[in-house]
Structure 1
Amino acid sequence: MGSIVQEQHSQARMVSARLDILRQELLAPILSIEGYTELLRGSLKDEDFLSDLEKIEKASIQTRGLVYEMLEAESSERSEEDRDSQRSKYKHDLRNSVGAIAGYSEIILEDMEDDGAGEGEDHEYLNHLVGEANKLLDMLETLFQSDDIFSEAAGESLNVDIHSIFDSFEKAEVEGVEVITGHILIVDDNESVRNILAHKLKKQGHTIRMGGSGREALNLIREQVPDILLLDLFMYDMNGFEVLKEMHKDEDLRSIPVIIITGLKDKNAAVRCIEAGAFDILTKPVNPALLDARVTACLEKKAWRDKEQEYQRELEKSFALIRQVFGRYMSDEVVKEILEADDGMALGGAKQQITIMMTDIRGFSMLSQELDAEDCVSLLNNYFGTMTPLIQKYGGVINEFLGDAILAIFGAPVAIEDHAPKALACALEMQNGMNDVNQRNREMGLPEVEMGIALNTGEVVVGNIGSERRQKYGVVGHHVNLTARIESFTIGRQVMISQYTMEAIETAVKVAQTLEVEAKGIRNPVKIYEVVGIGEPFNVSLVRKEVTLLPLAEPLLMHMRTLTGKAVADETIHAHIIEAGGRAAIMQCGTELEKLTNLRVTIPSFPQSLDEQLFAKVMKLIDRQDDRYIYRIQITSAAQAARDFILSQVVEPSATSD
């Protein structure tokens, strides 16, 4: 008697499995139809089209309901006469609802073509709708033609294709959800199931490995521990439940999240698997949204566990590590204060009054093209190696190295009242330090360089910006942008400070010149000062070697166009260089130019200047003779060959004395 009951139970489970497979086959085109109608709902605008689309949606819902009702009826006992009658009725009703989907889709297609819109995504989606509806109609024609649809042979002949289900769900992106990716091992003895799951999960950015049996699963896990194991319950050599028990015996494997994937709706099996350590169970065909949710939940749980373990390891060496890293950018005193603060490294920001420093090597872009990579890096390391200790000496914090530029702040993260004068003293000492930089450059066979420095003081937002995985101590706000604008007005060997920095300094300063400039993105004109010295208690003065300008044998013709931001003016100005020395020159032209105007220059007698970037800045008007203007200019960026060519035109002092 027990064997009979057991056999009946087994047969019932087999029938249930065949129904699940048949439901999967019938629902695949329906789900595709729903996916395409959802896409069309978001793109169609014509009221008539939307009205027909609504009818398609209603027919699709009706079709889905009829499929569920029909298959539910198949699982109940009934006479052959009732069975045949019900099957005929369901097939009749399904043909009507599916026919409505195809018919209204064709109506919209015909209207689109009449309107001249016979191409595009909407047209393609509608063709897919018609195709899926016809596929479903073909399936209905062969449905129930044989009484053995639940036999073993019938199960093998069913062709289940749920790629369309995955495709429709892939198009529905969930906004605002952070995608967590991981290494997932998929184990199933059905190759199609493995491929479908892998297809979906790869689209989400996961790394996938696959296995076809329980024993292979254990071998693959021991070779490389996955973040998640998707495990089929029924496999020929070793079922999923036995794999779970083996994993539970191994301390290194028992913590791996396991999601059981099965085609059978067996509650008892589900309970046993969860008791054995499974995280969850999903039923085939797998709902993509549910799969995403379960995988994400597993990865989040694992991420938090891994993070806790990582925090524990990092805690043991955190102080030494932070000192090593931050000590490169801050003084030991600043690092110590951050470490001792309760919220020293917490994410978030606060408004704070600070002084911002921006530096830039003049003409470095051109220089980097002339140097090989090794020399370029050597030059930068020499430069940064000199500047960094000076910034730390005055309590500054290097926020970023931006190529050849430095962004440093004074007054944060540790607040200090005299951040403005300290920043100015630091800037002056940095300019003096360029003599040491260039001395080493000469010894290494590298070119000499010049640096411009800008300072600005104001209230900005400072703090740790980023995410839990990656963050940096940053500074943002209007005054950061203003500092960058001021820096663009500097030339080599200059320190320019804003009126706000000047107002924050009580110590006596020596000013070489005062300018009022209008900067891009800044509403009102701003006063800037070229500072060459600061008094007590710093007593730092800029040490500058005066450049001797010598006359040229003949005026050197050059063509210029003014620059505003990165835009080059159309008008070409003709000018002549009459004196030159170092990076400075005296030129005369017939056009009035504003102070600090940037110039793009070409020299006809030096053909390479047509291809190379040669830039200059108007420093001051020296004289005006009738309609001729005489200016002092500074070469801000030029290839060494261009600078050498200009200086080669100079008349040496011995020649002028004859």
Structure 2
Amino acid sequence: MSDKAALTQHRITVLLVDDQHMIGEALRRMLAPEHDIDFHFCQDPTQAIKTANRIQPTVILQDLVMPEIDGLTLVRYYRANPATRQVPLIVLSSKEEAHTKAEAFALGANDYMVKLPDRLEILARIRYHSRGYINLLERNEAQAQLEKANRLIRKTFGQYLSDDIVDAILESPEGAALGGEKRFVTIMMTDLRGFTAIGERLPAEDVVGIINIYLETMTEIVLKYQGTIDEFIGDAIFVIFGAPILRDNDAKRAVACAVEMQLAMTQVNTKCREKGYPEVHQGIGINSGQLVVGNIGSKKRMKYGVVGRNVNLTARIESYTVGGQIFISENTMEECGLHLLRIDDQIDVMPKGVKKPLTIYEVGGIRGEFDLFLPEKVDVALVDLPKPIPIEFTVLEGKHAGDTRYQGTIDKLFEKTAQISAEVSADKLVNLKISLFDHDKNEISSDLYAKVVKSISKDPAIFHISMTSIPPSVTNFLERLMPESVTA
């Protein structure tokens, strides 16, 4: 069905208001042969507004001199009445005075004719004014339908897309077209560290419950900082700053958003504890660079997104984090300005697909207009264990464990941080999968995950780890070995 067919079909409807029956009969005879015109005659001017409201004329012919109500006064009433405010009004009068015509036009009349007019002339003017008014009605109706459809689109897709993307689709005819453009943007990726292992131990409804608590809290913060949520990927969030709307402080907003998101994890974990869920911890990576942004997919199914090597690089940067950390690229640091950032650490890394080492920066806060900071980092004082705990570990390559298993022991511990002595050293930021044993060589768990956070020495191989996913069996075992103040 076309847009035109979907609109209300309006006939030309004429209302004549005149106290003389003779004039009414004359007009009726003039218009009777015209099958596309409906004619209505109101001889009582006090009933004119009521009649107009009922028949909804497309043009009103109004006598100027009538008993009970002056014609010019009635013109005022038409223009004050919402139903007739925009209906074309032709004043009929026996007067030719310029002053009377000027007053009628000043009060809102659209035309002025001396009665009794010629048939061809009155038909031409009726059709002309009615056509213009019908076009106005159709435009208004089409606009109302469009606004209704837009409200439905916003209500439906606003649950899945950010406001910026919905606005871009609604406000521009090209908003939903396939295609893209190159643009310098800042992108953020977040992830709940070790959540895959946590999810494998919990019922499905608990997994979804944790994710919903997390995403609900983080979504509000992202939208507060005008980020575009490109998609949720399980427990991860992919956010764009700079598309579809480019702003001059995209990188700064991204960093400030990340800091507030990390601070909000206290609120997330409070809600998790209230529902009996385990605590979760978030890592965030941010990168700035040239990307292709736009609508990607097919005409039947598309999404607004970004494409380019900087997307992969952002994912790599995020993968180096442990819970509570924010890592940014050098590009993002330069976009923000080093003087505005609190840099807690910087590390040279060699992500896959990159030809030379990159420096990434751990951000602890941002100064200036946002003035947001994470708690200051303090060195953890590890406590010597009464007896080293034997372990075996493999190095994770992506999401997969390597084939080689290495021997080692946990010698010191405090909360989620531990010191390991091993037969081989492990580089900083490497992920490990650890099997932990009791002192009788009985396996406690083979699903302890950790990230190397500090290298103490290469020979002998000693390094510190941060445990990113701790099975309950490991927690219980460590609590039995150490005082409560030492273990998490």
TM over 0.5: yes
Does residue 1:368 correspond to 2:199, yes or no?
Answer: yes
Give unmatched runs, 5+ long, in structure 1: 1-310
Aligned pairs for 1:457-606 within 5 A: 457-506=288-337, 508-543=340-375, 549-566=382-399, 568-605=401-438
Q: 1:630 aligned to 451, 455, 462, which one?
A: 462
What amino acid does structure 2 have at the position aligned with 1:477? G
Q: Which residue of 2 is the match for residue 389 of structure 1?
A: 220
Q: Which residue of 2 is the match for residue 417 of structure 1?
A: 248
Q: Deviation of residue 494 (structure 1)?
A: 0.3
Residue-pair matches, total: 341
Q: Deviation of residue 618 (structure 1)?
A: 1.0
Distance change in 2, residues 1:313/1:558 (3 Å): farther
Q: Deviation of residue 410 (structure 1)?
A: 0.6
What amino acid does structure 1 have at the position aligned with 2:323? G
Q: Which residue of 2 is the match for residue 33 of structure 1?
A: none
SS at match of 1:613: strand
SS at match of 2:246: coil
Q: Which residue of 2 is the match for residue 115 of structure 1?
A: none
Contact 2:348–2:357 (Cα < 8 Å) also in 1:
yes
Q: Deviation of residue 313 (structure 1)?
A: 12
Distance change in 2, residues 1:331/1:433 (3 Å): same
Q: Percent identity?
A: 43
Q: 2: CA distance between counterparts of 1:468 and 1:629?
A: 57
Distance change in 2, residues 1:540/1:325 (3 Å): farther
Q: Which residue of 2 is the match for residue 184 of structure 1?
A: none
Does residue 1:644 correspond to 2:476, yes or no?
Answer: yes
What amino acid does structure 1 have at the position aligned with 2:248? E
Q: Deviation of residue 567 (structure 1)?
A: 5.2
Contact 1:515–1:528 (Cα < 8 Å) also in 2:
yes
Provide the alpha-carbon RMSD of the alignment.
2.7
1:43-99 superposed Cα distances (whole Å, 9 cap, x missing partner): xxxxxxxxxxxxxxxxxxxxxxxxxxxxxxxxxxxxxxxxxxxxxxxxxxxxxxxxx
User: Larger deviation: 595-604 or 565-574?
Assistant: 565-574
What amino acid does structure 2 have at the position aligned with 1:459? Q
What amino acid does structure 1 have at the position aligned with 2:237? I
Q: 2: CA distance between counterparts of 1:314 and 1:585?
A: 64
What amino acid does structure 2 have at the position aligned with 1:631? F
Aligned pairs for 1:112-131 within 5 A: none
Q: Which residue of 2 is the match for residue 348 of structure 1?
A: 179
Q: Deviation of residue 312 (structure 1)?
A: 12
Distance change in 2, residues 1:393/1:421 (3 Å): same
Q: 1: CA distance between counterparts of 2:168 and 2:485?
A: 59
Q: 2: CA distance between counterparts of 1:329 and 1:433?
A: 22
What amino acid does structure 1 have at the position aligned with 2:220? P
SS at match of 1:636: strand
Does residue 1:453 correspond to 2:284, yes or no?
Answer: yes
SS at match of 1:447: coil
Q: 2: CA distance between counterparts of 1:620 and 1:329?
A: 40
Contact 1:330–1:395 (Cα < 8 Å) also in 2:
no
Q: Deviation of residue 641 (structure 1)?
A: 2.1
SS at match of 1:594: coil
TM, length-normalised to structure 1: 0.49
What amino acid does structure 1 have at the position aligned with 2:233? L
Aligned pairs for 1:149-188 within 5 A: none
What amino acid does structure 2 have at the position aligned with 1:377? V
Q: 2: CA distance between counterparts of 1:391 and 1:609?
A: 40
Q: 2: CA distance between counterparts of 1:330 and 1:544?
A: 35
1:92-131 superposed Cα distances (whole Å, 9 cap, x missing partner): xxxxxxxxxxxxxxxxxxxxxxxxxxxxxxxxxxxxxxxx
Q: Deviation of residue 322 (structure 1)?
A: 3.0
Q: Which residue of 2 is the match for residue 94 of structure 1?
A: none
Aligned pairs for 1:51-450 within 5 A: 315=146, 317-328=148-159, 332=163, 335-336=166-167, 338-450=169-281
Q: 2: CA distance between counterparts of 1:364 and 1:457?
A: 26
Distance change in 2, residues 1:372/1:345 (3 Å): same
Q: Deviation of residue 405 (structure 1)?
A: 0.6
Q: Deviation of residue 466 (structure 1)?
A: 1.6
Q: Deviation of residue 586 (structure 1)?
A: 1.7
1:267-298 superposed Cα distances (whole Å, 9 cap, x missing partner): xxxxxxxxxxxxxxxxxxxxxxxxxxxxxxxx
Relative CO higher for 1 or 2, CA cutoff 8 Å, sep ≥ 6? 2
What amino acid does structure 1 have at the position aligned with 2:150? F
SS at match of 2:153: helix
Give unmatched runs, 5+ long, in structure 2: 1-141
User: Larger deviation: 641-650 or 408-417?
Assistant: 641-650
TM, length-normalised to structure 2: 0.65
SS at match of 1:558: strand
Q: Which residue of 1 is the match for residue 453 of structure 2?
A: 619
SS at match of 1:603: strand
Contact 2:161–2:230 (Cα < 8 Å) also in 1:
no
Contact 2:164–2:244 (Cα < 8 Å) also in 1:
no
The answer to which structure has the higher helix fraction is 1
The answer to which structure has the higher strand fraction is 2
Q: Which residue of 1 is the match for residue 91 of structure 2?
A: none
Q: 1: CA distance between counterparts of 2:255 and 2:294?
A: 23
Distance change in 2, residues 1:493/1:394 (3 Å): same
What amino acid does structure 2 have at the position aligned with 1:372? P
User: Larger deviation: 511-520 or 558-567?
Assistant: 558-567
